[in-house]
Structure formats: structure tokens, C-alpha cells
Amino acid sequence: MKRLAILSVALLLLRCGVQPERVLSGEERARYLQEIGIEKILMTDGSEEGRHLYVLDNKATRARRLTTTPAVRVGIWSPDGSRIAYTEGNSLNVMNEDGTGSQRLYPSSGPVILSFKWAPDGSRIAFRVGPPSGTVYTIRPDGTGLTTVEAPWVPTSADFNNPGEVAWSPDGRALAYEARYGGDTVPQVYLIGADGTGRRRLTGTAGAARNPSWSPDGRRIAFDADTRPYTISADGTDLRQLATAFAIAPVWSPMGQALVYRTLSGSIGVMNPDGSGRRQIVGLASGESTLFKSWAPDGSRIAFVGLFRNVLSLFVVKASGDDLRSLVDDVGSFDVRWGR
């Protein structure tokens, strides 16, 4: 995802000594994707006039367009890779992986969809809408069972500028999200059952708490507060600050051995779950920000989008910061289907 608004990416000075000389050719890219275990890449183009959704698999030298209307903002694979959820204009939609069977789940006449996420088993999609409410819903991918998980709250414009993602627990029983209720002076991270019961505030930090990310075992949640990274037990105890330096949007690797984060300058960094071993793996040429997007299942690589030589490109780099590859240019948002 994970912000689901169009990716805010920036000028990347790719780490000293690891700058790619060029974008891989179609044949080179196909071989490389097979080598590192990427089956397919779902992506939008980088056009400002309107974006189509494309798929690029590891046996093809060119991407194939899936949509007919250039209004797609983001697309995400279902957990089994058979379906695609995507936002087109203000609507939430699903289609089959080959682009057939498109169906609208949530109407385009409603508020904009800020973020959405498949449940781990693919049975439902959680999504959050924009002004005037910020309501969190879930819906089945066949369009039935629209459920209000969390009633409207009273967001400010600043809250909607930083909507965060709705994050499913690994077992699919709960959702973590950021909101501001009652006496909250800044957004906090809340947990709620997937059926809409048992809402509780997880954090109580002085600064805004954002970007919740569950550990793979569901025991801890990473987040940032006042631009510093933290983890906390899912029961709200054992709060740990991982760093005093600016580091936001920490995301667990699939095996739980590391967290990836963004720095003040927008660089990409990796640290151990206890905050040790912090290291920058991609640096920047400007103060803009880039967005981490996808870990390899074994935690060995990270995929992200950046502006390189004035072209938005999709990159893959080892978690060590080595072996940086530029896969394709003119990219907006993307989602990677890694092999298992």
C-alpha cells in the first residue's frame, strides 16, 4: 500500500557505491525476478493526468494493462494472488488477477478511500474513508457484508494528511488504526475487533502515534510517535522506544527479524526489533521522502519506488543495502507478489 494516497516519492541518491547504471532490460528483468522469487508486480504508471493498473510477471518483458479507465490510485494483491483490490476515483473495486470480472464494492459517490487492506485469509477487505468521518469498514470481496467496524470520529485536515493504514492482526481477528477520540489531543493507535467490538486505545504518547505494524506473531505492534519509532505489546504494556533519531513508519519484516523505516531526509533504514543495528540502506539527494513498500518473505530484500535521473522507478535492494536494481521506470504505486 503502505500511504495509500499516491506515493510521495523523492529524489533518491541511491547509496554510495550501489547506484544502478541503468534500468534492466525486459529480458534481464525477467531473469532477475525469477532469481529473487518475484512472481508478479502490480503497478500504476506515473502519469499525473490519470493512472492505469498494469501487471508485470517474471516471464514477460513488458507490462500488461489491466484497466480501461485512467483513474486508478492503488492496487493490492489478495493473499493468494488470485484477486486484486484497487481504488479507482473514489470507489473500491476488485478484479481477477488477469483483469477480468471487475466489480465495484464501495460507491464512487462516497468519500475518498484513504487506505485499504486484505484480511490475511482474503475473506474481507478493511478500508477507511476520508472526510467527513474517517469511518473504518470491512467488506467481503464479493461485495456483501459491508460492516462498520468503527463509527465516525472527528478528524482534522492534518489527520487526513496522514491517514495511515488499517492494519490487520496476523490472525485476522483485530485491526490496528490511528484515530483521535474524546480527550485525545493528537491521534493515537487503537485496536478493535474485526467485528467492531472491544475498541481500546493502545498508545498514550504525547506526540501523534501513527503507522501501526503488527509483528508476524501478533505479539507486538510497531509505530511511530512524535517521529520516533516504538514497539508495544498488543495488550498495551511494555512500551519500548527504539531510537531517539527521526525514524517513521517502521514495518516488520515477514519473519520478524528486522524493521524497515524512513528517516527525516526520507532515507530508508533497517534496524533490529530492539532498536539495535540501525543502518541506512538507501540515502537521498533531497529532503523529500520515499516510501518503503514490500519486504521479500525471507526478509532478504526490500522493494521501493524512487525518483532516479528524473524518472520514477521501481527498485529492489538487499536488506544489507547491496545489490540495488532498477526494475522499471514510470511507476506510481505498486505491490509485489513474491513467491513463497
pLDDT per residue over 265-299, tens digit each?
777 899 999 999 999 888 755 534 466 678 999 99
Q: What is the pLDDT of residues 30-54, one digit of tens each?
A: 999 999 999 999 998 866 656 899 9
- What range defines the domain where residue 196 resides? 12-335
- What's the pLDDT score for residue 10? 33
Determine, yes or no, domain membership for 1.
no
* Residue given cell 485496536 in the structure block: 191
- What's the pLDDT score for residue 309? 63
- Which of 299, 303, 293 has the alpha carbon at shortest distance from 326? 303
The Cα 221–Cα 256 span in angstroms is 11
Q: 102 or 159: whose pLDDT is higher?
A: 102
Asked whether residue 7 carries a pLDDT value surpassing 50, the answer given is: no
Q: Which CATH number belongs to the domain containing residue 252 in this structure?
A: 2.120.10.30
Determine, yes or no, domain membership for 2.
no
Q: Quick one: cell of 285? A: 539527494
Answer yes or no: are the C-beta atoms of 199 and 246 closer than 8 Å.
Answer: no
pTM: 0.88
Determine, yes or no, domain membership for 233.
yes
The Cα 245–Cα 236 span in angstroms is 23
Q: Quick one: cell of 314? A: 521501481
Determine, yes or no, domain membership for 155.
yes
Other C-beta atoms lying within 10 Å of the C-beta of residue 209: 27
- What's the pLDDT score for residue 275? 96
Distance in angstroms between the alpha carbons of the first and the last residue of the chain: 20
Asked whether residue 197 carries a pLDDT value surpassing 70, the answer given is: yes
Q: 123 or 107: whose pLDDT is higher?
A: 123
Give CA angle at 222 (220, 223), nearest 5°. Answer: 145
Q: How many domains does the chain have?
A: 1
Determine, yes or no, domain membership for 304.
yes
Determine, yes or no, domain membership for 5.
no
User: Concatenated DSSP letters for 257-268?
Assistant: S-EEEEETTS-E
